[in-house]
C-alpha cells in the first residue's frame, strides 16, 4: 500500500498494553490533525475517548476472536440520519482514507505483528456506521494487505 508516511504517525501505548501483548482486548483509536496531517494512534485496553472530536472522524478497532480465528473489528461513525447528503460525503471520505488508516494501525503496532506474525492472516471487518444497531459488516481483506 505504502500511502503512509511513518514520520507522520505518533503511536501511544496506554493501560497495561505493551508493544507485544495482550492481543485480545487490544483497542486502537486513530485520529488525525487536519492542520499538520499527522496521524495519532492510541493503543490500549479502552478506546481513547479523550481523543474523540466533535466531528467524530476517528477510526476505532479491536481484536476479536470467532470460531478460534482472530480478526480486527473496525468501527466508523458515519451518523447523521438528518442530513443524508453529509452522511454520503462522510462515508465516501472514510472509504477513500480507510486503507491509510489500516496501514497506520498495522505499522503503528508493527512489533505486535513481528512477534505474532500469524496476525497478518487475520481478516478485517468494517462497520461503517456504529451508530446503527444493525450495522452491516464488510470484509476488507487481511492485515497483510496493509503492511
Q: Give pLDDT tens digits for 78-135.
A: 765 556 667 778 888 888 999 999 999 999 999 999 999 999 999 999 998 766 566 7
> How many whole angstroms from its chain centre is CA 39?
12
Of residues 1 and 5, the one with the higher pLDDT is 5
**Does residue 58 form part of some domain?**
yes
Is residue 14 included in any domain, yes or no? yes
Domain assignment present for 1: no
* Better pLDDT: 67 or 80: 67
Count of domains for the chain: 1
Question: What pLDDT score was predicted for residue 80?
Answer: 54
DSSP designation for 111 = H
pTM, two decimals, is 0.91
C-alpha to C-alpha distances, 39 to 7, 47, 59, 87, nearest whole angstrom: 9, 16, 11, 23
Residue 74 lies in a domain: yes
- Does residue 140 form part of some domain? yes
CB 143 within 8 A of CB 119: yes
Give the range of the structural domain holding residue 81, as residue numbers without chain letter.
6-146
What mean pLDDT comes out for the span 53-62?
85
* Residue 54 banded pLDDT, cuts 50, 70, 90: confident
12: in domain: yes
Amino acid at each position: 500500500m505504502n500511502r503512509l508516511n511513518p514520520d507522520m504517525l505518533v503511536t501511544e501505548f496506554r493501560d497495561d498494553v505493551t508493544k507485544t501483548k495482550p492481543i485480545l482486548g487490544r483497542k486502537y483509536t486513530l485520529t488525525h490533525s487536519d492542520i499538520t496531517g499527522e496521524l495519532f494512534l492510541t493503543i490500549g485496553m479502552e478506546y481513547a475517548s479523550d481523543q474523540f472530536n466533535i466531528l467524530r472522524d476517528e477510526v476505532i478497532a479491536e481484536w476479536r476472536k470467532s470460531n478460534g480465528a482472530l480478526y480486527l473489528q473496525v468501527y466508523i461513525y458515519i451518523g447523521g440520519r438528518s442530513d443524508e447528503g453529509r452522511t454520503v460525503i462522510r462515508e465516501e471520505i472514510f472509504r477513500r482514507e480507510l486503507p491509510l488508516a489500516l496501514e497506520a494501525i498495522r505499522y503503528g503496532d508493527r512489533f505486535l505483528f513481528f512477534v505474532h506474525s500469524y496476525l497478518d492472516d487475520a481478516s478485517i471487518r468494517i462497520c461503517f456506521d456504529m451508530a446503527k444497531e444493525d450495522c452491516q459488516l464488510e470484509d476488507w481483506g487481511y492485515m497483510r494487505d496493509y503492511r
